[in-house]
Amino acid sequence: MTVKELPIWPFRQTILDTVAKHSITVIIGETGSGKTTQIAQMLQNAGYAKEGCVGVTQPRRVAALTVARRVAEEMSCDLGQEVGYRVRFEERTSRMTRIVYLTDGTLLREMLDDHELSAYSVIVLDEAHERSLNTDVLFGVLKKLVKTRQNPLKLILTSATLDSAKFSSYFDGCPVLNIPGRQYEVQIVHSQENHERDYLAAAVDTALDIHLHQAPGDVLVFLTGQAEIDKAVKQLGEAIAELPEDSCADLLILPLYAAMPLELQARVFAPPPEGCRRLIIATNIAETSITVDGVVYVVDPGVVKQKTYTPATGMESLHVVPISRVQATQRAGRAGRVCNGKCYRLYTTQFFEREMSESTVPEIQRTNMLTAVLYLKSLPLDIDVLAFDYLDSPGSEALEDALRQLLILDALDRDGHITNLGKRMAALPLEPSLARSLLAAADFDCLPEALTTAAMLSAETIFSGNRGPVQLLRNEADAHGRQGGLSEQGRATLGDLMKEGLGDHILMLRLFQGWERNGFSSKWCKEMGVDALRRSLLVGFANRLARRMPRHNGYKTLNERATLAQLHPATARIAADEDGLMPEFVIYYALIATAKVFLSKVCPMNTEWVEEVLPKLRNINVERLSGGMTTRKAAKRAEFAGQLSENPVAKEAPAATAR
Ligand code: CDP
Ligand code: MG
């Protein structure tokens, strides 16, 4: 398909006219209609990128990278020249760059240095329907900026499916352009029974069945995560290898997920060899943000992996949950882009109608607001966080939770003003606790060690197969039944490192140090490094402290709603005292709920240190922190002034001058 055949092309002039007339425009069009790749180019050709750049945000890092590459190709320039990208820890832009694809988080961080986003003449908030946390925060902040910036800023929101009335009314009645899609018909086939539990096996069987019995056309299978996708790729590969030769056409199996190296991802955009069917097994990433051409069959298990945060307990849960009906429709639509297609839903019609919600709950309503509130407070916009103009409010519980944590981390003062430390934390592209630990580590003179630990904590897991060090030492099998695989020597070394008994963080550090022997002298570390590092962690994770229950080894978190939790079975050894009791205080990286509630990634703390930070956790006045107090004060003052003007003396005085 050439660029001019894309559905968006005939609307070029309408789009430009509308953008010229209005400061905010919403553009809605089917996935694949050309919004992400074409709108920025149209704007540039119309002269919008002369004074400043056109910035296009993406909720996902991968999308920013692949789309920038694609647009550079279309414009026949090298990536990083006229077209570039900026994502966390990586950028390819230059002074020549006119179109930048960047993640929504990166744009928010850029605002901390350049409040008015003066480098941009147009901002396109792409994939608005995904309602990612950062995009939602940008809605509110940019809505404000568009009104106040002297140099006009154009704001465009683009989306696949969207409640356009709600958006338009939130953005002061802005125009909404609808780009009709060129959807072919998609036949929907529901299964007779629900495959909630065995959806992986059902998806593999269905994909195989399509390959053996259906006409040519690529197949797109949705699964929930990398481990699952790898498993499905393996099973399908084995099943195909067992078939007699020449019993079916060639099949190319391609996994697609965000954590995959870019070069491997690029394979799904390359045309397949002649007569070969492609089977793409993808996460939710293929639902809207990446379009794979050639798909005729979709296999939809009806589930997605979703992170949910409960502010009251500070607990994060990662569960496979049913998708919404909007998502199911979107997934099915992926089969109808090249010709009539077919979507196999691995669930019944009743499940679709009764178990699935109409639309997805936006991330802002089910996530930890810590980072977002830190950003809002860092902007010089005098924002009352609790009363801010959100499209959908995160709710006061989540906001109060974030404010309290920011106070404990010294990012806010008691009146809710951002502190210098808070500003420095916001500037670091890390979650606030890690940022705070690093800043404290600089004071405790153990920054290199803290950086190592931060890097290792940021990786989902450092051991293979989701095993912890204890399981590795015992040579226990991983989640997929694979054995430990550590050599005698490896186990001996790990065993030695574990003897120190200071939990996960320190073990991680030790492992790294062992690996990079020529790094910092381990003697020095033994002498002073360990405890300094643990204290830095305490400063950064003072919002995630837990105290052991008297006389037994269960813990209770020290936040608003104290939650009972156990140390995660994958926790590295933590030394017990003579009575077999664990340390009184620990900090944890996450509180996770699976079958039970667990503290994960745990570091023991000395009681004396914790006693120093405990006062910070008491008597927190959230209203004052929000900034609401000042607003309310202002209201009181206005009320008082009003009373004054009703006072006959005050009223008569100006009247006298008029006479
Ligand atoms: O944003 P929207 O979903 O409306 O469409 P797009 O991402 O701009 O895609 C327009 C066309 O470019 C589609 O046919 C995509 O398959 C194609 N494309 C591509 O081939 N490679 C990319 N990296 C991105 C898009
Ligand atoms: Mg797009």
| Ligand 1 atom having least distance to the Cα of 127 | 1
What's residue 247's pLDDT? 77
Distance 376 CA to ligand 2 centre (A): 27
What's residue 293's pLDDT? 82
What's residue 524's pLDDT? 39
**Could you tell me if the CB of 70 is within 6 A of ligand 1?**
yes
| Ligand 1 atom having least distance to the Cα of 1 | 14
Q: Among all ligands shown, which has an atom nearest to the Cα of 126? A: 2
**Could you tell me if the CB of 269 is within 6 A of ligand 1?**
yes
Each residue's pLDDT tens digit, 24-82: 999 999 888 899 999 999 999 999 999 899 999 999 888 898 899 999 999 999 999 99
What's residue 1's pLDDT? 67
Each residue's pLDDT tens digit, 563-572: 899 999 888 8
**Could you tell me if the CB of 453 is within 6 A of ligand 1?**
no
Residue 109 to residue 428: CA distance in whole angstroms: 9
User: Of 5, 30, 37, which is best to mutate to test ligand 1, by the most ligand atoms within 8 angstroms of its C-beta?
Assistant: 37
What's residue 625's pLDDT? 87
**In Å, what is the CA distance from 624 to each residue of 195, 396, 416, 627?**
50, 14, 6, 6
Tokens describing residue 285: 């990433």
* Local structure of 99: helix, strand or coil: strand
Distance 73 CA to ligand 1 centre (A): 12
**Could you tell me if the CB of 35 is within 6 A of ligand 1?**
yes
**Could you tell me if the CB of 36 is within 6 A of ligand 1?**
yes
Positive or negative torsion for Cα 463, 464, 465, 471: negative
Q: Identify the segments of the chain with pLDDT beneath 50.
A: 518, 520-529, 640-659
Task: Give the N- to C-terminal CA distance of the chain in Å, as an integer.
Answer: 77
Which residues are in the CB-under-5-Å shell of ion ligand 2? 36
Residue nearest to atom 7 of ligand 1 (CA): 36
What's residue 636's pLDDT? 55
Residue 45 to residue 67: CA distance in whole angstroms: 18
**Could you tell me if the CB of 79 is within 6 A of ligand 1?**
no
pTM equals 0.80
Q: Among all ligands shown, which has an atom nearest to the Cα of 31? A: 1
